[in-house]
Structures are given as structure tokens and as C-alpha cells.
Amino acid sequence: MKDAYARVLPTEVAFGVGLKRTGDTYIEELALIVYVPDKRPPPELPQEVMIPPTWEGYATDVVESHPEPLALLNDTSFFQAPRGGASIGWEDPFQVHIGTLGCVAQRRSDGARRLLTANHVTPAPGLEMFQPHPGAAQSTLVGTVELQGTDWDCAVLEPDSGRGTPDCSVLDIGALPGSSTAPPGDHVWNAARKRGQSTGLTTGVVVAHMHPGQVGIERLRVDTFPVGGLFLWHGDSGSVLVNANDEVIGLLVQGDEMKPSSTSSNPTAAVGLALPIAPVLDELSVEIGVDPPVVSGISPDTAPGVLANGGNAMITGRGFDSSTTVTFNGVDALSVIPASPHLLVVIPPVLAILGTVPVAVTNAFGTQSTPNPQAVFTY
């Protein structure tokens, strides 16, 4: 359908697959959705831009859409250790720019902790950002912009050492287990939530996976449920979107269907648009920060298997860094090579034991992995 209509529709048009909506009610029917800047009745439209009621057996839907960048005002809480959901900002000669610190990330090269947010709420690389934000009480340097996405609206900050160890949790949500590996379309009709500096913790439902249109960027569309509430507002940009398991599935960068109130300063409704998390992490060469580290598997997991493998074992999991140490029944491994935040190459110690022993991983900040059935090795 995109191939058939993108040529004759405005460049702002996006195409999605999600739930059909009748008025303000979503119905449990999959539809091919066209998001247009100006929805008009059929008599006002040329025939070539008319979207038919069905397309190859699927219902269609046309939704008026006006995505807006997010970047202004609200929570001014100070946190000594940076953490997800907190306010961050910077100032130019004309205004203060405010957004949300999404969460802590880890560089794939060495596991070093970084601060993840949206590109459009950061200044140029090498410039400083503050928390809560310039003008707020206790506001001090939180980090320096290290890398910004070129194709995706994302960025990471190098945290300032004076603020302490970055906290791998999100306010009102808690510790993150990492990112989801499910394809973006699999999140449709699933619950999601975010914690932003402007509207705090809000919950909703992923109502569509918006495929790349002429702008070339795919997005997840998140609405409150029942429809019509406020999922986010200016200042929430940079928040991470998490699923019911608290796995990160997206990075919030825009709002749509934004409705200011006519009677107060508080808005009444807004839909969130988030970038799927996988291309964001690839763009920045990072992973979602995990603390404590998690061991999800050891291969080979027996002494004979390690001997047959040249003496090495591979430990997979999350939250590893360049200073990670590994113990087998409390005895240090002979060698640990951190390959990424997900992989360690180790040489197990020689132990005069017959049986299964626990394996523990400790990161650079002294936090040790929790024992689990996957974190064992047999001599």
C-alpha cells in the first residue's frame, strides 16, 4: 500500500500496522494505517489519494497525525547518582532546553557506563549537560555529550565523575533487565510504560508499529488505554519505553495528537512516538545498562568440555564491563577477557572438586550477580 500511495501523498505521511480505531475507541482488528497531516472527507479529495476501506483483505484506517518534538519543562528533583527518568538540560543564549535521561547504557567496546537520551535534547558533542537543568535548585554538571545518532534521534553522555556511579535503574520503574529482542511489530497491543521528567510514570498500550515512510524512520505508537489520556508531554523526550517485563523496547522522541487544555495549564491528551530500541543501540554501539550483572549461560559448562575447547569457557549474560571478575566456587578464574557487555571469555581455575559449583560475576562497581541455575559449572 505504501508503494501504491507514497508517490501521491505528502512527504509527512507514514504507514503503520496496528489496531483500527473508530472515533476514540480501538477495536481488536488489525488494520493498515495511513497517518496523514490533514484528514479530509471523501468529497474534498482527488480520487488518486483516496485510501480504500480495505486493501488485499485487510481493513484500512486513516489517522490525522502531527508529530511534535518534545523538549520543555517540569520535574526538578536532584539526584547525586544519575538515573533514568530524571530531568536533564542545557542552556543557550535564548532558552533552557530540557529533556529526560532515559537510562544508563553500557558501551559495547568495554562496558563503560553512559547516559542514554534523545539527540534533539542535547547540544553538540563535547558540550555539557546538567541535572536537573540550568536554573533548577542544585543543578550541576551531569555529563558531556559523547556521541549523537546520525540516522536516529538518540545520544549518549559521558557521565561526570563527580556525580558518583550512574544508577542502572529508572525512577518509579526500578532496575532494568536489558532490552527486548522481539521485533517491533510484536509489541503491538502490549502494555508499555515510561517515566519522564514532565509527566512522571505513565502507562499505555502500543497501538501500532509505524513502518518507515518517506522519512525512513520506523516508530512505535503508544496511547493511553482507554484512549484519550496523557501519555507524555514536552520534557519527556529521551525517556525509555519498557514492556511488562521492564525490558526496554523504545526511546521516546515525539508526541502526537497533543491536546492542550482550554481551562488550565495542564494538557489533556497526547500519544507517544518511540524509536524501536534495537537500531538506537546499534547506532550508538551500546547496550542497556544492567546492575547487578546477570549470568544467563556458560558454554562449555563442564571441565572436560573446557579441556576440549582449548581451556576456554564463554559466559553470556548482561551487565559485564572491562573490569569484570569471575569466581568459581569463590576461586578467581585464571583469566577473564570481557568481549562485550553480553560476553566474557574465561579460563576456569583448577579445583580439586567433583561436582557442580556456583559461578559469580562481579562488575567494576563491586556488584555481584545473583545465583541462578544457569550460573553453575561442573568439575
The one-digit pLDDT tens for each residue of the chain (379 residues) are: 888 888 888 777 888 899 888 877 888 889 999 988 888 888 888 888 888 999 999 999 998 887 765 433 478 899 999 999 999 999 999 999 999 999 999 999 999 999 999 999 999 999 999 999 999 989 999 999 999 999 899 999 999 999 989 999 999 999 999 999 999 999 999 999 999 999 899 999 999 999 876 666 899 999 987 666 789 998 999 999 999 999 999 999 999 988 877 766 667 788 999 999 999 999 999 999 999 999 999 999 999 999 999 999 999 999 999 999 999 999 999 999 999 999 999 999 999 999 999 999 999 999 999 999 999 999 9
What is the distance between the alpha carbons of residues 45 and 235, in angstroms, rounded to a whole number?
A: 37
Instruction: Enumerate residues 6+ apart whose C-beta is below 8 A from 366.
Output: none
- Residue labelled with grid coordinates 508526541: 255
**Greatest C-alpha distance within the chain:** 85
Give yes or no for a contact between 133 and 98, defined as CB atoms under 8 angstroms apart. Answer: yes
Handedness of CA 169, 173, 176, 180 (dihedral sign): negative
Question: H or E element: which one contains 308?
Answer: helix 303-308
- DSSP letter assigned to residue 306: H
